Structure 1
Amino acid sequence: MRPPPLRRLLAALSAALATGLAVPALRPSPAATVQVLAAARDLPSGTILGPRDVRPLALPPDAVPAGALRENAVGRTLAGPMRRGEPLTDARLLTGGLLRGYGAGTVATPIRIADAGVARLLRPGDRIDVLATPSPGAPFSRTVVSSAPVVAVPRLRSDQGALIVLATDRTQAAALAAAGSSLSVTISGAPAGPPQNDGPR
């Protein structure tokens, strides 16, 4: 005896519903990701990060580098250059600890020197004189800043020299920025005390 048409219809609907529920269950769940911050563009060392300098980046959990930042990057200063898309980590940033023990007006000032070999001789706490390449018509290098304390020597080496971070005041930081990219240093061995800005000689 055939089942009534209504019973056949209900059986068909139940089978279709069961099939529809089974298909999503067979689909693999989306891979888990962790959202971190990355450079939104190529950034030079010493950049004070703004909202347009960083962007979110989703990474698989096992690809997240140690110390990756997920927030609170705006206003921080880069200790070295970054490429667009590179995850931002705590090792890429200058920290307040670099300036512990210095005066309230002290800033951490990154400079790049031409000779990376000289940077290998430096350690935090050394005091150096920073020299600028002679300008046209000037026979000698000029001292931009003297007896400046070294607070960090990031391990970033390239054919473009090496990065050094100094403790300076804001006037000295501006003088170093205006001195150009061809800088060299000498180890002064000066006694402890505030660094002096000699200005052009």
Structure 2
Amino acid sequence: MKPPRAPLSLPRFLRLRRRPLAALCTFVAVLTGLWALSPPPDDRTTVLVAGAALPAGTVLGRGDLVARPLPPEAVPEAAITEPDALVGRALAGPVTAGTVLTEASVASGERLARPGMVVIALPLPSGGIAALVRPGAEIDLIASDGATVAGQVRVLSAPETAEGFGAASRAALIEVSPDAAARLAQLAQTGSLTIAVR
């Protein structure tokens, strides 16, 4: 009968298994380094941006909107994340492709005009003029005596069609001062108004 083996001392145990222990320590060190270098969990916010350059007055449809995830620090205040909050609303100003759309980017109803201004429908006298008056364009409105009733007028929306002389389909929405709006209403009835496209 063989006598029982004496238990290995700790130093001898470590010496005999130094290679497996070294490999284990290396593996743990690599895992710790990878964990430290890994990016934090993705907490991006999906916002809506303009899919293309759009002029002021454009009534937004779903085809104009693109969803884009952004890190929290890149999301502007009041950014809109739901398409239903944008569809059918008009742009308050021109935007470039990729612009994040916020509550300040769009307007509806009375918010379409800037403070101190009003929005009116301007009948366009001909199909040729209607084809030139586009959203974002600036026009001058001149009376028959040559006086400028309103200059550098901002066009918010243009006619969808050039058909129908004097019809609502031949009207553009423009932004003017209240005083100019009253004068333009009188001149539009008499037909003594000239539109100059810049």
**What is the TM-score with the length of structure 1 in the denominator?**
0.50
Report the secondary structure of 2:90's partner residue: coil
1:168 aligned residue:
none
Note if contact 1:129-1:188 (Cα within 8 Å) is conserved in structure 2: no
SS, match of residue 52 in structure 1: helix
Aligned position for 1:88 = 101
Q: Once the 2 structures are TM-superposed, how far is the Cα of residue 129 of structure 1 from its aligned partner?
A: 7.3
Distance 1:160 1:43, change over 3 A: farther
Using a 3 Å threshold, how does the CA distance of structure 1 residues 134 and 70 change in structure 2: closer, same or farther?
closer
CA RMSD of aligned residues (A): 4.9
The alignment's TM-score, normalised by the length of structure 2, stands at 0.50
Report the secondary structure of 2:62's partner residue: coil
State yes or no: 1:79 paired with 2:92: yes
**Identity score, percent:** 29
- Is 1:98 the counterpart of 2:110? The answer is yes
Structure 1 unaligned residues grouped into runs of 5+: 100-107, 111-118, 143-158, 166-170, 191-196
- In our comparison, the structure showing a higher alpha carbon Rg is 2
For the pair 1:68 / 2:60, whether they are aligned, the reply is no
Aligned residues, how many? Answer: 147
Q: Do residues 20 (structure 1) and 14 (structure 2) align?
A: no
Provide the residue aligned with 1:35 in structure 2.
46
List per-residue Cα deviations over 1:37-89 (Å, max 9, x = no partner): 11111012232323331222344433422211111233333232211111101
Name 1:146's counterpart in structure 2. none
Distance 2:167 2:93 in 1: 20
Bigger fraction of residues in helix: 2
Amino acid at match of 1:61: P
Distance 1:173 1:82, change over 3 A: farther
1:176 has 2:186 as partner:
no
Q: Secondary structure at 1:186's aligned position in 2?
A: helix
- Which residue identity is paired with 1:176? A
Letter in 2 for 1:42: A
Q: Does 1:56 align with 2:67?
A: yes
How far, CA to CA, are the matches of 1:22 and 1:4 in structure 2?
23
Measured in 2, the distance between the counterparts of 1:20 and 1:129 equals: 70
* Residue 199 of structure 1, CA deviation: 10
Structure 2 spans left out of the alignment, 5+ residues: 1-10, 129-141, 145-150, 158-165, 193-198
Contact (CA 8 Å) 1:129, 1:186: kept in 2 or not?
Answer: no
Q: Is contact 1:39-1:82 (8 Å) kept?
A: yes
Q: 1:130 is aligned with what amino acid?
A: L
